[in-house]
């Protein structure tokens, strides 16, 4: 097993990885920016290294500073968490060429899945269903218009190099397409350094369902169930649950088989997620993208399958067998995760500030993965995620009742936060019925 681990991330995910590392007797090393010096993850690590100013380009995305920290502390491995450098193939290669262990998929898999058009084509060749769309980037606006006419409106305009719900727009007709194409292309060039755009069919009433995969050290790829991720704002997730209330046993079998094929197509190793769109009217699903990293919502899978995904990541990276029997995976119970963000609960606009009160809920089936505590300052430099409230139980109904109590008990004062939104959601009949889709938040607003 790896003996020392540098966590190249911050906040709740750094704290989460450090917790598992220390449980396993692995020396945990944190890196932090000047803005994060007082956050819990820094204090909880065995060692912590300041790597730069608040600007993430000069700290958490500063590969030279992170590698220097690894060298100075004698770290054996680097875990990138999610975001920042987690899906940076060049960084993964650099880590390994420096003689360190990369806790994640290989750089080739990251590269293959990082371009949405290439990923679509690879998945189609592997027999994974893909939505109607372009097989090459739309070279210009005229090409986009021609592709949309062939696919049929409405269409989704997407940045080929995008991710995390960013760089996307919907066009219901040619006039809208002309506006969205220029907007998405400009955004993609600015954010990703790649203005390539793809056009694909847009499904107005659709569910977002993903499958957790794990590429084992022996070369096998296994699927650890599905997660429902349809409660979203601006194409970014707010709530995830497992299993999905929309997925029957027969449909689950098809989902998991397709996800395993997706992983096998790129010789996948370590943790990853195959994201799909599900048309609930036909039970057809289509490949959306593969996230070549640990997901924010991984705890719901951990509860349903009784495993620690970070531990499994570390075992794969160490060349060890998993703690579970890959041929006897059995899901049990239900789990829901709510993302507690520093944003107002109506328009979801960021609201940084000093945390004056922080009281986490406790009780059976309640877990809080938090990045902050009382007295910390939520700055505008990073993602608005404050904590993840994860609730588990024997049934979905039991979980929803526990969730209501936990949300009511979660006290945060100082920064704006979206806890009141979850109070509203948990009383929403559409959500409680399980028959919701990605439009539920907009209908609530």
Residue pair 117/137 in contact by the 8 Å Cβ criterion: yes
Residue whose structure tokens are 């209908």: 443
Q: Using H for helix, E for strand and C for coil, what is the string for 281-295?
A: CCCEEEEEEEECCCC
- Per the DSSP assignment, residues forming a β-bridge with 213 are 223, 272
Phi, psi of 256 (to 5 degrees): -65, -40
Question: Within 126-248, where are the H helices?
Answer: 141-151, 174-192
Active site residue 293: yes
> Quick one: 404 exposed, middle or buried, by C-beta within 10 A (0-12, 13-18, 19+)?
middle
Closest CA to 84 of 120, 33, 40: 33
Question: What strand order describes the sheet that includes 197-201?
Answer: 168-171, 155-159, 197-201
C-alpha to C-alpha distance for 167 and 263, rounded to whole angstroms = 25
Residue pair 32/48 in contact by the 8 Å Cβ criterion: yes
Residue pair 85/70 in contact by the 8 Å Cβ criterion: no
Residue pair 362/341 in contact by the 8 Å Cβ criterion: no
From the list 252, 293, 339, 402, the catalytic residue is 293
Look up residue 434 and give its DSSP letter. Answer: T
Q: Which residues are catalytic?
A: 293
């Amino acid at each position: 097993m790896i003996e020392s681990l540098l966590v190249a991330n911050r906040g709740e995910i750094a704290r989460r990885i450090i917790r598992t590392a220390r449980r396993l007797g692995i020396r945990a090393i944190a890196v932090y920016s000047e803005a994060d010096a007082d956050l819990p993850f820094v204090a909880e690590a065995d060692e912590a290294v300041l790597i730069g100013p608040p600007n993430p380009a000069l700290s958490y995305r500063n590969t030279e500073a992170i590698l220097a920290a690894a060298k100075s502390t004698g770290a054996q491995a680097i875990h990138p968490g999610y975001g920042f450098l987690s899906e940076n193939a060049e960084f993964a290669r650099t880590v390994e060429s420096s003689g360190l262990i990369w806790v994640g998929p290989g750089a080739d898999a990251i590269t293959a899945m990082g371009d949405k058009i290439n990923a679509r084509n690879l998945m189609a060749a592997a027999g994974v269903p893909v939505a109607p769309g372009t097989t090459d980037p739309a070279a210009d606006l005229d090409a986009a218009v021609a592709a949309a006419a062939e696919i049929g409106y409405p269409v989704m305009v997407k940045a080929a190099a995008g991710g995390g719900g960013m760089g996307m727009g919907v066009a219901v007709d040619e006039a809208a397409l002309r506006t969205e194409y220029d907007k998405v292309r400009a955004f993609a060039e600015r954010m990703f350094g790649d203005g390539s755009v793809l056009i694909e069919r847009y499904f107005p009433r659709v569910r977002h369902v993903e499958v957790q995969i794990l590429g084992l050290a022996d070369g096998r790829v296994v699927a650890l169930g599905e997660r429902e991720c349809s409660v979203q704002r601006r194409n970014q997730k707010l709530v995830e649950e497992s299993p999905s209330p929309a997925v029957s046993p027969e449909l689950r079998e098809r989902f998991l088989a397709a996800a395993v094929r997706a992983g096998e197509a790129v010789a996948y190793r370590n943790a990853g997620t195959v994201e799909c769109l599900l048309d609930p009217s036909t039970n057809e699903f289509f490949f959306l993208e593969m996230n070549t990293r640990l997901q924010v919502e991984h705890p719901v899978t951990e509860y349903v399958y009784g495993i620690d995904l970070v531990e499994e990541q570390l075992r794969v990276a160490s060349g060890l067998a998993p703690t579970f029997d890959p041929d006897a995976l059995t899901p049990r119970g239900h789990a829901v995760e709510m993302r507690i963000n520093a944003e107002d609960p109506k328009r979801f606009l960021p609201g940084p500030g000093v945390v004056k009160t922080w009281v986490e809920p406790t009780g059976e089936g309640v877990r809080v993965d938090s990045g902050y505590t009382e007295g910390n300052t939520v700055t505008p430099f990073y993602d608005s995620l404050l904590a993840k409230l994860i609730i588990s139980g024997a049934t979905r109904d039991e979980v929803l009742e526990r969730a209501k109590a936990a949300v009511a008990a979660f006290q945060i004062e100082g920064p704006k936060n979206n806890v009141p939104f979850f109070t509203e959601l948990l009383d929403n009949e559409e959500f409680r019925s399980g028959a919701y889709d990605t439009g539920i938040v907009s209908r609530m607003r």
